Amino acid sequence: MDEPFVKAKKILTTLHNNGYEAYFVGGSVRDYLLQRPIGDIDIATSARPEQIMAIFPKTIDVGAVHGTVIVLHNDEQYEVTTFRTEEGYDDYRRPSHVEFVTSLHEDLKRRDFTMNAIAMTIDGSIIDPFGGKKAIEEKRIQTVGDPNERFFEDALRMMRAVRFSSQLSFLLCKETESAIKENAALLKKISVERITIEFEKLLSGPSCQESIPILVKTNLFQYLPGFTDEIQSLVRFSYYKWSQLQERAEYWTLVCYLLNKNDSKAFLRQWKLPNKIIEQVVKNRIFLEKVIQTGWNKRLLYDCGIECIQQIERILEVLRIHQEVSPLQKFKKLPITQRSELDITGEDFLLWYKQKPGKWVADLYEIVENAILENKVENNKEKIKEWLLSCNQK
């Protein structure tokens, strides 16, 4: 048994010694069977929340009405949850109330996917009533029971299915995928905060590139804030190795860049992201566009600062791999690509300055071209005239 479980055994022993059943459950058992690094250890028990709090010296009541108590042991936190079913789903959200039950089997049955509905005893025996181990071996994501019913109960499970496909490099089984397609619109009922957590996990998973097309195929993307009708941009999401990014702000900067959102702030507010992240993305976005246009220069580096430079470089790396910012792309994005595109001619200079032709005309051409390339002035006759006169060029 892996080290994190060994450390947590004491919790199970204490529960057993007090006459309760207790098992390791959920993601940690799945990850153990997959030989992946184990995250949080969840424990399911027949003890009621008040009984859990009575037998452990250090506990935090994080949701006793839903059956969950955090037990602190040797500087670790363990979520200990009473066996329960979830009843009376209001509006396809979280259950309106939970019912505590006495059997582990009932508790496993309410869990989302077969791979997450496996329990492990203190001595490492596996209890797997829904064929979760086989699903893991076959790298398959399948709901416990009828997928339509399970997504109807809690629509977030559809997002969870896609994020697990990204994190674990698993495939959705056929029925599960078609049920998502059928029920995608139910995602509207889910709070944005819960969707955001799953979407971020999806983007940072190693198989994100394979999972994005599932969002497209199932139509689930239509119900992500700000993604309605963004199918073309979303398809481009799957070109990039998102997992090379590190910070949350980097992910969201790339999202805004690929969706070409004019107002990143409004878009990110829809996702209910913290202000700190929103501010960082807005800053990243401005500098990203500038660096793509002109490359780094001293002023840009100075204004951007070390943290932002590192974030932008990682984003550029992801974009470069796909040649998104090759010199050719940069060339195509220039405000003008040759002199004939200028909205003015030498005649205009002669007219404006009322002087004889001479070398000054060629010099002026160059000044105007530079100003347009540097975005100091728009390629528009009136604007150029205004700019030339205002800064007294020539």
Distance of CA 257 to the CA centre of its chain: 14
Binding mask 28-67 for Mg ion (x = CB under 5 A): ------------x---------------------------
The number of residues making up the chain comes to 394
- Considering beta carbons, is residue 38 or 371 the nearer one to Mg ion? 38
27 is in an annotated binding site: yes
157 is in an annotated binding site: yes
Instruction: For residue 156, state whether it binds ligand ATP (rule: CB under 6 A).
Output: yes
Q: Which two tokens stand for residue 41?
A: 């250890």
Residues 52-111 that bind ligand ATP (CB under 6 A): 111
d(C-alpha 66, C-alpha 368), whole Å: 68
- Residue 88 touches which member of Mg ion, ligand ATP, none, C-beta under 5-8 Å by kind: none
Query: Which residues, listed in sequence order, are joined to residue 172 by a DSSP beta bridge?
Result: 141
What is the smallest separation between the CB atom of 298 and ligand ATP, expressed in angstroms?
43
- Residue 116 touches which member of Mg ion, ligand ATP, none, C-beta under 5-8 Å by kind: ligand ATP
Q: Which stretch binds ligand ATP (CB under 6 A): 125-133, 153-161, 212-220, 278-286?
A: 153-161
Among 23, 42, 256, 388, binds ligand ATP (CB under 6 A): 42
299 is in an annotated binding site: no
Binding mask 14-33 for Mg ion (x = CB under 5 A): -------------x------
Alpha helices in the chain (DSSP H): 3-17, 27-33, 49-55, 104-109, 132-137, 147-153, 156-168, 174-183, 192-204, 208-217, 231-237, 248-259, 264-270, 275-294, 298-304, 306-321, 327-332, 346-353, 359-373, 381-390
Concatenating the DSSP letter of every residue in 336-384 gives -SSGGG-S--HHHHHHHHT---SHHHHHHHHHHHHHHHTTSS-S-HHHH
343 is in an annotated binding site: no
Residues 5-34 that bind ligand ATP (CB under 6 A): 26-27
Binding site for Mg ion (CB under 5 A): 27, 40
